[in-house]
Chain A
Amino acid sequence: MRITNGIMINNNLSNINKNKVSLDKVMTQIETTKKIQRPSEDPIIAVRALRLRSTYNAIEQYKDRNVEDADSWMTTTAEALGGINDVLENIVYYCNQGVNEYQTVEEYEAIISSLKSFKEAVYEDGNADYGDRTIFTGYKTDSTLTFEQNDATVSYNITENHSFDDIDTFKRLVGVSEEDINEYETTYENSSTGLPYTGANITNEAIHVMRLGYDDIDNSAVSVVIDPKGTATTYTAEIISSAQLGEQTYANIDPDKVYLVRETGELVFGNNVYNMANSKDFTVNYTKTGFDKGELKPEHYFDCVKTEQAGTDENGTPKTKVTQYTAKDQKIEYTVSFNQTITVNVQGKDVLTHDIGRDIDEMIDRIRDMQETTSKLNKVKEKIALTTDKTELSRLNSLKVVLEVEQKYAQDNVTDVFSQGIEKFKEHQQNVTVVNSDLAARMKRLSMIQDRLEQQALTVEELKSKNEDTNLTAAAVEYKAMNNVYTASLSVSAKVIQQTLLDFL
C-alpha cells in the first residue's frame, strides 16, 4: 500500500486523539471520584446507582428521623408512665393507711385531700405532651386527655361498654337521719333488729353497683342493654337522686329494676337483673352536660356524640356543633424500616381509666359516710350531756346505741373499701406495669432495628461506593500508564512528521 505523509499524519492524529480520550477519561474519573459521568457511559452502573441512592435515602429517613422520633416519643411516654406509676403507688400506700381502723377524723380528712390530689395528679399526667402533642390521646394529639377548664355547656351522649366483672358488690349504709336526732319518739325494742326503736332505721345491705365514668348525670333517659350482641334486654334505669335515698333506701331496691343515682353516677342493679346479667356484657347509654376541669374527656374512651356551642349564626342564634366519636384503637405507627412499623404511643384508655378516679370517689364517699355518722353520734352525745328529761335521755341513749352500731358499720365499710382499694389500685398499677413493659419491649425492638439500619446503611454505602466510585489506586496507575503512552506517541509523531527526503538530499 502506498503510504503518504498525509496518511501518517492522519493516523498519528487519530491515535494521539484516542490516547487523549483515554487519558481524559481516567483524569475525569480521578477528579470527580466517579466511575461514570453520564448514564450512557454505563447504563447499568447508572441505574444501579439510582437504586442504591434511593435505598440509602430511605434508610437515612428511617434511621435518622423516623427511629429518632419514635424513640423520643416512646421515651417521653415511658417517663409519663413512671409518673403515673408513682402516683398509684402512693394511693396504695394511703389505702394501707386507710385500712387501719384507728384513724381520727382529721387523719381521714387528710387522706381525703391526699386522694383528691392524687386523682388530679394522675389525670394531669395523662395530659403529658411531646412537642405540643399530647401522647396519651391516640390520634387526638391536639386534644388533652382531660378537660382543661370547667365547661358547663358541652354535652355528651355516652355509650359505655362494660362486662359483668365491672359490677361491684358493696355494702351501703343507710343511717339515722338528722331529723330523727332532733325528734321525740317513744322507744321500744325493734323486734327484728333487737335494737331499741328510736324512730330511726339503719341498714347496711350489700348491693350490686357499678360506677359510670362520670357523676352528675343528666336527668334524661338512661338505657342499659344487657348482652347487646345476643338477646339484648333493654332496661331503662330509674333515676333517683341521692336525696331520695334516705326514704327509698338501698334496702328497698326492686330486684327487677336498674337504678341510677344521678349525683354519684352509680348504677344499681336489682338482684334479678344482676343475676340475669351474670357473665354477660352490657352497655349503658346516658347523657351528661357540663364537665369539670380535670375530668377525662369521653371521646378518648367511649362511643359518644358531642354537642357543643359553636358561635352564633347571622341572626345571633347560638349554633351547635355535633361530633360523633367512635371508640377504637388508635395506634400511632411509625415506619421504622422497610415494611416495618412500630407503635409508638400508649393509649390513655389502657392506663388511665375512669376506674382510677371512680375508685377514689368510692373511698372518699365511704369516709364521708363515716364522718357523717361520727358527727351524728357526737351531736347525740352533746344532747345527752345537756338533757335532764328522763324519757328524752333514754331515747337519746338508745339512739346513741343505734348510732354506735351505725358507726361500726360505717367503719367496716371504710375498711372494706380501702382493702378493696389496695386490690384495685394494685391492679391499676399492674395495668401500668404491663403497658410499660410492652413499651419497653417496643423500645428494645426499636433499638435493634436501629442497629440493623446502621448496618444496612454501611452495607448500602459500601455497595454504592463500589458501584459508582473510582478505585483511586487503580485509576492512578492507569493514569500513569496512559500518560506514558500519550507522551511516547507525541514524541514519536514529532520525529516522524518532521523529516522528509529533502533533509537527506
Chain B
Amino acid sequence: MPNTFFGLNIGTLGLQAANVNLNVTANNIANKYTKGYSRQVAKQQATQALRVYQKYGMIGSGVEVVSIDRIRNEYYDKKYEENQTRLGSAQTTYYYMLKIEDLFNESTVDGFTKEYDNLFNAVEELIKDSSDITTRNVFLNYSESFLEYMQEIKNDLRLEQEDLNSEVVTNVNAINSLAQEIATLNKQINVVELSGAEANELRDRRTVLLDELSSIVSISTDEVAYDNGKTEFTVRVGSNILVDNYNYFSLEAVTRESNANGNDAVGLYDIKWSYGQSFEPIKENVKGSLYSLLEVRDGNNNIETGNAYSYPIDYKGVPYYMNQIDDFLDKFTSALNEIHEKGENLYGESASGTPLYVKSPNGVYTVNEAIKQDPKLMATSYDSTDGASQSDLVYDLLYTKNAEIYKGGTASDFLQAIITEIGVDTRKANNKVESYTNMQITIENQRQSVMGVDRDEEAMNLVKFQEAYNLSSHVISIMAEMYDRLITQTGV
C-alpha cells in the first residue's frame, strides 16, 4: 500500500511537468522568429514505478522532465553550409561582374563601339578633305576621345580591382572574428554541457556562425564527443585548421611587394596564416566569396606571366580585361602609326619619326602632342606633291577599321568578343545565383521542416499543456478533498 499522500505527489509532479512544457512552449513561441533557433521539446518520462506488494504489482508514481532537447537534423546543416559556399561564391562573382559589365555597358549607353565608329567617321571626313585643318582637328579630337575612353575603362577596372582588394580584407577580417566567436562558443558549450545540461541556444548560435562562415570559405567541421559530456569541435578551411576547439588561427592580408600583372593596382593583398604559411584559396580550391573575389581580382584567363606573384588563373577577371584593352590599343596605335609614318605631312616632310599616337613611359596612349599643336604635321598622303587633297594614306587608315589585325579578327570582332565574354560570364554567375538561391530555399525549408517553430503546433501545445496543468490541479484538489474527508470527517 503506497503512502497516503502518494496521489497528491503525482498531481504535483504532473503540475510541474505541465508547467515545464508550458514554459518550453512559451520559449518556442518567443523565439519563433529568432534566426537559427531550433524548436525545443521537453523530454518527459514516467517516474520510477513503486513496488507496493499488492496483487497488482507496481504502481506509476508520476512524471518527470528529463531534459529539454532541440529538434534539429545536423545533416541539413551540412548541406546548407555546402550550398552557402556555392551561393557566396556565385553572389560575389555576380556582383562584381555586374560592375565590370557596367563599365563596358553598350546596350543602354554609347560605349566604345560608338567611339570607335565616330573615330572612323572622322577618317571618312578626312578622306574627303584632308587639306582642311578643321577636319584634321576633328579626327585628332575623336582619336583622343577614343583613346581616353578606352583608358578610362582601364582606370575604372583598376578602381574595381581596388574595391575587390579591400573586400578581400573585409572577408579575411570576417573569417577571423567568426573563428574567434566560434572558439568562444565552443568553450561556453563545454562549460554548460559538462554539467550535464544541453547547450541548445549556444549550439544554435554556433550553427548560425558556421552558416555565415561557410559563405565566405568552404569549411568542414568535426565534433568529437567524450563520455563525460565534453566535446571537441574543429573547423577546417581546406586542409588547414581554423578553429581547434577553444583556439583559432587567424588569417592576415599581406601587401604584395610587386604587381602580378602589369596593369594591376598597387598594393594588392595576398593572404597568409598567422603562423606564416600562405593561404591561396584558388590553388587550394577553397570556394566561397573569398575565392570569387580573388578570381575576379586576379583572373588572367590562364595566362602564364612568368611573374613571381602571378600564376595562371582560369578566369577572365579584371587583369584579363585590362590586358585586352592594352593589347587592343597597342595594335590599334601601331597599325595606324605604321601607316602614318610612311607618309608626308602638309609641309612636304616625311612623317617618319612622327607617330600619330604615342605611349607615355607609364603606359598612357595619347595623340602626339606635336601633331595636336600643329595638325599640318599629320600625314595624309604618301607623296605630298600630289596635292593637299591626296588622301591615299587616309584610305589606308580607313582600311584598318575592318582589317583583321586584332587576334585574327576586326576591331569590332575584338570589342564585341569582350562584350560577349563579360555578358556570358555575368549571365553564368546570375544563373548560379538563382539556382543556388533556390537550392538554399529548399534546404532551408527542409531544415525548417524539422527545426522550425509552428504557430499552430505551439497553440495546440499551449492548449494541451494548459489542459494537462488544469487536470493536474484538479487531481490535487480532488486529493485535497479526499484528505479532508478522511482526516476531518471520517470517524469524527
Q: Which residues of A contact B (CB under 8 A)?
A: 1-7, 10-11, 14, 32, 34, 36-43, 46-47, 49-51, 53-54, 57-58, 61, 65-66, 69, 131, 133, 137-143, 299, 323-326, 328, 330, 332-335, 468, 500-502, 505
Q: CA–CA, A214 to B391, complex, Å?
A: 31
In order of increasing CB-CB distance, the 4 nearest A-B pairs are: A140-B387, A139-B387, A43-B423, A39-B423
Q: Are A51's CB and B412's CB within 8 A?
A: yes
Q: Are A330's CB and B390's CB within 8 A?
A: yes
Q: CA–CA, A122 to B224, complex, Å?
A: 110
Which B residues are in CB contact (< 8 Å) with A2?
449-450, 454
Which A residues are in CB contact (< 8 Å) with B457?
4
Q: Are A141's CB and B388's CB within 8 A?
A: yes
- Specify the chain A residue showing the minimal Cβ separation from B459: A501
Q: CA–CA, A39 to B106, complex, Å?
A: 8
Q: Are A501's CB and B441's CB within 8 A?
A: no
Question: For chain B residues 421-442, which have a beta carbon within 8 Å of chain A?
Answer: 422-427, 430, 441
Q: Are A38's CB and B108's CB within 8 A?
A: yes
- Picked from B422, B455, B460, the residue with its CB within 8 Å of the CB of A40 is B422
- Specify the chain A residue showing the minimal Cβ separation from B451: A4
Question: For chain B residues 117-152, which have a beta carbon within 8 Å of chain A?
Answer: 117, 121, 124-125, 127-129, 131
**B463 on the interface (CB 8 Å rule)?**
yes
Which B residues are in CB contact (< 8 Å) with A141?
129, 131, 387-389
CB of B421, distance to nearest CB on chain A (Å): 9
CB of B26, distance to nearest CB on chain A (Å): 14
Q: CA–CA, A224 to B354, complex, Å?
A: 42
Which B residues are in CB contact (< 8 Å) with A4?
448-449, 452-455, 457
- Specify the chain B residue showing the minimal Cβ separation from A6: B452
Which B residues are in CB contact (< 8 Å) with A38?
98, 101-102, 105, 107-108, 423, 426
Which A residues are in CB contact (< 8 Å) with B420?
39, 43, 46-47
Main secondary structure, interface of B, reads helix
CB of A59, distance to nearest CB on chain B (Å): 11
**B367 on the interface (CB 8 Å rule)?**
no
CB of B51, distance to nearest CB on chain A (Å): 41
- Picked from A1, A34, A41, A65, the residue with its CB within 8 Å of the CB of B427 is A41
- Specify the chain B residue showing the minimal Cβ separation from A37: B108
Q: Are B387's CB and A142's CB within 8 A?
A: yes
Given contacts A330-B387, A335-B398, contact A43 B427 (CB under 8 A): yes
Q: CA–CA, A65 to B123, complex, Å?
A: 12
Q: CA–CA, A69 to B398, complex, Å?
A: 18
Q: Are A501's CB and B422's CB within 8 A?
A: no
Which A residues are in CB contact (< 8 Å) with B124?
61, 65-66, 335
CB of B305, distance to nearest CB on chain A (Å): 28
CB of B448, distance to nearest CB on chain A (Å): 5
Q: CA–CA, A134 to B374, complex, Å?
A: 24
CB of B145, distance to nearest CB on chain A (Å): 15
Q: Are A57's CB and B385's CB within 8 A?
A: no
**B419 on the interface (CB 8 Å rule)?**
yes
A-B contact pairs, 30 of them (CB 8 A): A3-B449, A4-B449, A4-B453, A4-B455, A4-B457, A6-B454, A7-B445, A7-B448, A10-B448, A11-B445, A37-B108, A38-B102, A38-B423, A39-B101, A40-B422, A41-B427, A43-B419, A46-B107, A46-B419, A61-B124, A65-B124, A65-B125, A66-B124, A133-B129, A141-B388, A141-B389, A299-B385, A326-B383, A335-B124, A468-B107
